[in-house]
Amino acid sequence: MTARKHATPRPLSKVATGIQGFDEISHGGLPQNRTSLAMGGPGTGKTVFALQALVNAARDRKQPGLFVAFEEGASEIFANAATFGWGLPALARSALFFLDARLSPTVVQSGDFDLGGMLAILEAKKQELGAGWIVFDGVDVLLRLLQNPGAEMREIYRLRDWLADNDLTAIITAKIDGDASSPASYGFMQFMVDCVIRFDRRLEQEISVRRLEITKYRGSEFATGEFPLSFGPQGMEVAAPGTAEILHEAPSARVSSGFAGLDSMLGGGVFRGSSTLITGAPGTSKTTLAGKFAESACQRGERTLFVSFDESGARIQRNLTSVGIRLDAHMKSGLLRMYSGRTDVNNPEEHLIRIAALLLEHRPRCMVIDPLSAIARTGALSSARAVCNRLIYKMRDHRVTAIITALVGGDDPQVEATELQISTIADTWIHLSYVVRGGERNRALTIVKSRGTRHSNQVRELVLSAAGPALADVYSAGGEVLMGTLRWEKEAEERTRKLQRRAAFTHKRRELQFAEADIVARITALQLDLDRQRAELALYTPEDEVRHVTSDERENQLRKIRGAGAATKVAPVPSRRRVARISARSRGNGGKEPRRGP
């Protein structure tokens, strides 16, 4: 939501602070060569804001700066900023100048004084360094010494004129006590400066929440409203709402969910850049599924981020080892980054900012948040919901394929829908539940929804073993999926049946083989018989011929001797008689008719 404040013919030139989120809500940063006022109660982050802007300018844009500390000494500031990876002492040697402007408590005041001397010193330093930035930290401490509203105003105008003459981008921080909405004391200072940022800290459901708001920005539009801020490893981060329009790509490439059974249920895996929600009661192995996803991502060589809450990364890694998921090597190689947050310490906003920082730092392609529902444990539920929404959008912005787990109390997945309301934004929703049947508690996996992809409607049993999670084969009986022992029994029954079938088959086959062998044997015996017959036949034929010839010749000779006609007797007699005669004469030989005439 933006509001146009003043229309200027010439756009105001801005200079980025490099503070994540602030440059977005201020639409570019602070006004260049003008003065900004950061005001707020104690411990709201004014000094860090100012110092971080200064450090970023010096480090990233090589723009030296001056820091005038009215409240803390340089060494204290260095110590405070040491928690952030800024390298402040090194910068202080080259590009930054810290002026310890605390007045000694032993100083006696006698009459009016002014800032002329200090400004002269700063001017000399500015020219020496070529500084473009200046911070007056805790200017209220100095002004209080003036003990005179008129003098205060005079010195502030002196400051303003000096800043205007010196072309410095300035941040003045000032404390305000009590209610932040009525900063009566610095009213004129707010008129004087071009940009006012109000810092605030308050308790929300026993959790301290810091916020900032831009209340004034001359000649510029800015995002109105309060924005939560927190402190990450790189300093302050402001939770900017991001762009109003959602412009996410929709890649059609698939990513394995970690094991084949689930991939095939999802029609080949989850979409690249999508977010998958896994809900379930405690102990339904949500973390195991998430861990499997992380492991397979690492095996593909993709950078992975594993965010867990209230349990250390080392413990998760150890626990996952028991189900055959090995993350240790990937953790060592730096491919996998484990981050564990404590939900009792930070509020949802701080978690979000931390995760967002990790996304930038580690640049993962896949990530796991286990469990996201832990975020809602502290602070107001409405802000937790907003955080979850923003988190999912942020992951999509970074094109990260994510698995998010969420704890639900009951077996009914609809409970989740009313709790954090992330199920509506998630692309795929897998629900894990316990099925109690036959005196057992078994894990069941259901895909509640999966956008833009064909997915199985089958309830499957999730089996955990040392080899990792797997989806058991489906056996249904009477419309129910069999699980646990019932499934095992069914499987055993199936096995027995299969064995029986196989035995019967073998038996039958063997029977047929015997029959075949028998026939073959008989064929062989007959063949042998046939051969013998043929051989005998071959043996007998020439002998018979000889016999025939001799007998015919002899008959003819006998006839000749007797003087009878040769063929007269023979002609009317059919061969049968001859055959009979032949067979009578020579046993075993027949059928051959005499062809030779006399």
Partner 1 sequence: MARKRAKADAATAPVTTVVVMCLYVAGKAPNSVRAIANLEAICRRHLKGGYKLEIVDVCEHPRRALADGVLVTPSLTKVSPAPAANVIGNLSDTSSVLAALGLHAGDLN
| Residue ranges that bind partner 1, judged by CB under 8 A | 99-101, 103-104, 106-118, 120-121, 123-125, 142
Report the residue number, 114 or 328, with the smaller CB distance to partner 1: 114
Report the residue number, 104 or 418, with the smaller CB distance to partner 1: 104
Question: Which of 162, 191, 99, 93 lies closest to 136 in space, CA to CA?
Answer: 99
Report the residue number, 142 or 331, with the smaller CB distance to partner 1: 142
Other Cβ atoms less than 10 A from the Cβ of 482: the count is: 23
User: CA 408, CA 433: separation in Å to the nearest integer?
Assistant: 10
Least distance (Å) between residue 374 CB and partner 1:
50
Write the DSSP assignment of 237-306 as a string of letters: EE-----SS--------EE--SSHHHHHHTTSSEETT-EEEEEESTTSSHHHHHHHHHHHHHHTT--EEE
CB distance 197 to 226 below 8 Å: no
Report the residue number, 122 or 355, with the smaller CB distance to partner 1: 122
Least distance (Å) between residue 55 CB and partner 1:
22
Report the residue number, 111 or 591, with the smaller CB distance to partner 1: 111
Least distance (Å) between residue 108 CB and partner 1:
4
Report the residue number, 3 or 107, with the smaller CB distance to partner 1: 107
Least distance (Å) between residue 67 CB and partner 1:
14
User: CA 252, CA 94: separation in Å to the nearest integer?
Assistant: 51
Residue 349, φ and ψ in degrees, nearest 5: -60, -40
Starting at the earlier edge strand, list the strands of the sheet with 169-175: 96-100, 65-69, 133-137, 169-175, 35-40, 195-204, 207-217, 226-232, 235-238
**Token pair for residue 312?**
């250390």
Burial of 50 (0-12, 13-18, 19+ CB in 10 A): buried
β-bridge mates for residue 170, sequence order: 35, 134
User: CA 325, CA 319: separation in Å to the nearest integer?
Assistant: 9
CB distance 100 to 72 below 8 Å: no
Report the residue number, 68 or 298, with the smaller CB distance to partner 1: 68
Helix (H/G/I), strand (E/B), else coil: 448: strand
Least distance (Å) between residue 34 CB and partner 1:
24
Report the residue number, 8 or 147, with the smaller CB distance to partner 1: 147
Least distance (Å) between residue 234 CB and partner 1:
32
Residue 200, φ and ψ in degrees, nearest 5: -145, 145
Q: Which one-letter DSSP state was computed for residue 115?
A: S
User: CA 146, CA 188: separation in Å to the nearest integer?
Assistant: 16
User: CA 270, CA 255: separation in Å to the nearest integer?
Assistant: 5
Beta strands in 428-509 (DSSP E): 428-437, 440-450, 460-465, 468-471, 476-477, 480-481
**Token pair for residue 455?**
């997915």
Report the residue number, 123 or 361, with the smaller CB distance to partner 1: 123
Least distance (Å) between residue 287 CB and partner 1:
58
**Token pair for residue 264?**
């095939």
Report the residue number, 113 or 488, with the smaller CB distance to partner 1: 113
Least distance (Å) between residue 109 CB and partner 1:
5
Least distance (Å) between residue 99 CB and partner 1:
8
Radius of gyration of the chain (CA): 50
Least distance (Å) between residue 92 CB and partner 1:
15
Least distance (Å) between residue 38 CB and partner 1:
21
**Token pair for residue 101?**
């402007």
Report the residue number, 100 or 397, with the smaller CB distance to partner 1: 100
Least distance (Å) between residue 386 CB and partner 1:
46
Report the residue number, 163 or 265, with the smaller CB distance to partner 1: 163
